[in-house]
A = this chain, B = another copy of it.
């Protein structure tokens, strides 16, 4: 593939696979009549945000102002920040980003958040678009009822500096039926109040291939689909061949014939299990199991004796791609020409 072997553990992205993944889900959304708004938390790279938009995405989703700042720097024009933004420091940063892009939207699920946004944007030339976050069963953020959604939409529409943009939810796995009933009721109440509800945005990679059909949803947010990972393979959303992100590691010890130690621990693979057993799939070694991680070691148990030798390099498909991306300062991108190039992960570690 390439003659260059980076020091391990290394984050390696096969751009050819990522490009195919972008195209495949964009085609699915196009056919379903859904706008696609990729979540950049998976790749955290301006390079891929631009590629997603070039492929037809309507804009991007981010979770942090720091991510929005990086993507604004990269010239991304349409950003949805799916988080309640609170506090004078963050509101000032939010307003500064809004001045630099064509369209910035955020979400809110409380009057407190809306009041803060209004205070910050009443001083701006352009209003901020605010969507109401709805809890359709995931049990995280969001208003609890369609009535509460309509009430908050009315508050947003009446707040100087703000424009109501629609409804947003992060659904529970398999919860699309709940999304439909909640959103239909909320939209109806909002429109009855004389307020337009242009966007209804839902998301999640695990259920991405079910997106579309008879739905009130207008926009779909997915992140992991660009790289895929072991959790999506386990859930049937893709195959191992569709996984663009791998962690390259080296066997540093073979203490027993059926135990090998890799130099990729939780600092490289993360401790995320996502309901799976084991900490990743070692490509080409289907019977080898990563049974435990410490910070700098993966402990591998094998059925076959002497399956690995010290110094051998292996590629691991991690359980959860997004959190792995956040652990590496840079990635090695394998381009169309098969060559590797080192790319800083510009939006890594953006905690605020």
Give residues in A with beta carbon < 8 Å to B: 7-9, 41, 63-64, 83-84, 86-87, 89-90, 109-110, 112-113, 135, 139-144, 250, 252-256, 259, 261, 263, 266-268, 270-273, 294-297, 299, 310-311, 322-323, 326-329, 349, 351-352
Query: A263 — which chain B residues lie within 8 A by C-beta?
Result: 83
| 27 cross-chain CB contacts under 8 A | A7-B90, A8-B87, A8-B352, A9-B352, A41-B295, A63-B295, A84-B253, A84-B310, A86-B250, A86-B310, A87-B311, A109-B253, A109-B255, A110-B254, A110-B310, A112-B311, A135-B255, A139-B259, A140-B294, A142-B253, A144-B255, A266-B272, A268-B351, A271-B273, A326-B327, A328-B349, A329-B351
- The answer to whether A322 and B296 have CB atoms under 8 Å apart is no
Query: A109 — which chain B residues lie within 8 A by C-beta?
Result: 253, 255
Query: A141 — which chain B residues lie within 8 A by C-beta?
Result: 252-253, 255, 261, 297
Query: A140 — which chain B residues lie within 8 A by C-beta?
Result: 255, 261, 294, 297, 299
6 further A-B contacts with Cβ under 8 Å, apart from A7-B352, A112-B310, A267-B326, are: A84-B310, A141-B297, A266-B270, A271-B271, A327-B349, A328-B349
- The answer to whether A323 and B253 have CB atoms under 8 Å apart is no
- The answer to whether A351 and B328 have CB atoms under 8 Å apart is yes
Q: Which of B41, B252, B349 contacts A329 (CB 8 A)?
A: B349
Q: Interface centre among A89, A296, A326, by most B CB within 10 Å?
A: A296
- The answer to whether B253 and A110 have CB atoms under 8 Å apart is yes
- The answer to whether A252 and B86 have CB atoms under 8 Å apart is yes
A254 CB to nearest B CB, Å: 7
- The answer to whether A323 and B87 have CB atoms under 8 Å apart is no
- The answer to whether B89 and A7 have CB atoms under 8 Å apart is yes
Query: A299 — which chain B residues lie within 8 A by C-beta?
Result: 139-140
Q: Which of B252, B322, B329 contacts A83 (CB 8 A)?
A: B252
A135 to B254, CA, bound (A): 12
A116 to B81, CA, bound (A): 50
A249 CB to nearest B CB, Å: 10
A96 CB to nearest B CB, Å: 14
- Contact A296-B83, Cβ < 8 Å, known A7-B90, A271-B270, A272-B271: yes
Tell me the nearest residue of chain B to A85, going by C-beta. B252
Q: Which of B41, B84, B310, B352 contacts A252 (CB 8 A)?
A: B84
A273 to B271, CA, bound (A): 9
A311 CB to nearest B CB, Å: 6
Q: Which of B8, B84, B252, B323 contacts A295 (CB 8 A)?
A: B323
- The answer to whether A256 and B144 have CB atoms under 8 Å apart is yes
Query: A296 — which chain B residues lie within 8 A by C-beta?
Result: 63-64, 83
A272 to B272, CA, bound (A): 8
Query: A255 — which chain B residues lie within 8 A by C-beta?
Result: 109, 135, 140-144
Q: Which of B7, B144, B267, B311 contacts A323 (CB 8 A)?
A: B267
A263 to B2, CA, bound (A): 41
Q: Which 5 A-B pairs have the closest CB atoms?
A: A271-B271, A112-B310, A7-B352, A84-B252, A141-B253
